[in-house]
Structure 1
Amino acid sequence: MKNNILLTIQHSLSQLSKKEYVIADFILQHGKQVMTLSIHELAQQCDVSVATVVRFCRSIGLSGYPELKLALSAQTDADQQTIYEEIAPDDSFDMLKDKLTQRLTSTLSLTNDVLEEQSLLEAVQLIESTSQIIVFGLGASHIAAEDFFQKFSRIGKNVITHSDIHLITTLLSANPENKVLVLISNSGEKTQIEQLENIAKSLQIPVIAVTGNQDSELAKQATVTLLHSALEVSGKIRTAATASLIAQLYVVDMLYYYFLTSNYTKYSAPILRTHDATNLFLK
Structure 2
Amino acid sequence: MAFFGYNDAKTLVGVDVAIYEYILAHETGVPFMHVRDLAAGAHVSNSSVMRFIRKMGYSSFPEFKVAFHKQSLEASPDLETGVQLLTAETFPSTLQRTLDLVAQTILTANNVVFTGTGSSANVAEYASRLTSTLGINSFPVTDPYYPLIPQLKQTTKNVLITLSVSGQAAEVLGMLRQFQNDPATTLISITGHRDSPIAMISTYALTYHTTEHRIHGHYDLTSQLPAMTIVEALARTIRRQAQLPHH
Q: Do the structures match in fold with TM over 0.5?
A: yes
Aligned mates of 1:212, 1:84 — CA distance in 2: 22
Return the structure number with greater relative CO, CA threshold 8 A, min gap 6. 1
Equivalent residue number for residue 97 of structure 2:
118
Aligned: 1:231 with 2:191: no
How does 1:38-187 map onto structure 2 within 5 Å? Answer: 39-40=54-55, 42-43=57-58, 46=59, 48=60, 52=61, 79-80=73-74, 83=77, 86=80, 96-97=81-82, 100=83, 103-106=84-87, 109-114=88-93, 116-167=95-146, 169-170=148-149, 173-187=152-166
Please state which structure has a larger fraction of its residues in helix. 1
Q: Secondary structure at the match of 1:206?
A: strand
Which of 146, 169, 174 aligns to 1:195? It is: 174
More moved, 119-128 vs 165-174 = 165-174
Residues 114, 229 of structure 1: 8 Å contact kept: no
1:166 aligns to what SS in structure 2?
Answer: coil
User: Are the structure 2 counterparts of residues 172 and 209 from structure 1 closer, same or farther at C-alpha, using a change threshold of 3 Å?
Assistant: farther
TM-score (norm 1): 0.60
Residue 8 of structure 1: aligned partner = 29
Aligned alpha-carbon RMSD (Å): 3.7
Q: Following the alignment from structure 1 to structure 2, what is the Cα–Cα distance between the partners of residues 202 and 170?
A: 13
Residue of structure 1 in register with 2:45 after alignment: none
Answer yes or no: is the 8 Å Cα contact 1:183–1:210 preserved in 2.
yes
* TM-aligned CA deviation for residue 80 of structure 1: 1.9
| Counterpart contact for 1:148–1:252, Cα < 8 Å | yes
Shift of 1:161: 0.8
Aligned-partner Cα distance in 2 for 1:172–1:111: 36
1:60 aligned partner: none
SS at match of 2:98: helix
TM norm structure 2:
0.68
Unaligned runs of 5+ in 1: 18-36, 58-67, 87-95, 267-283
CA distance change for structure 1 residues 206 and 199 in 2, over 3 Å: closer, same or farther? same
- The residue that corresponds to 1:220 in the other structure is 200
Question: In the alignment, is the contact (CA less than 8 A) between 2:212 and 2:222 conserved in 1?
Answer: no
Unaligned runs of 5+ in 2: 1-23, 36-51
* Identity percentage of aligned residues: 16
CA distance in 2, matches of 1:234, 1:82: 20
Question: Does the CA contact (< 8 Å) of 2:214 and 2:220 recur in 1?
Answer: no
Q: Offset of 1:183 from its aligned partner? A: 0.7
Task: Report the 3-state secondary structure (helix = DSSP H, G, I; strand = E; otherwise coil) of the residue aligned with 1:182.
Answer: strand
Runs of 4 or more, structure 1, over 6 Å off, are 234-239
Deviation at 1:110, TM superposition (A): 2.6
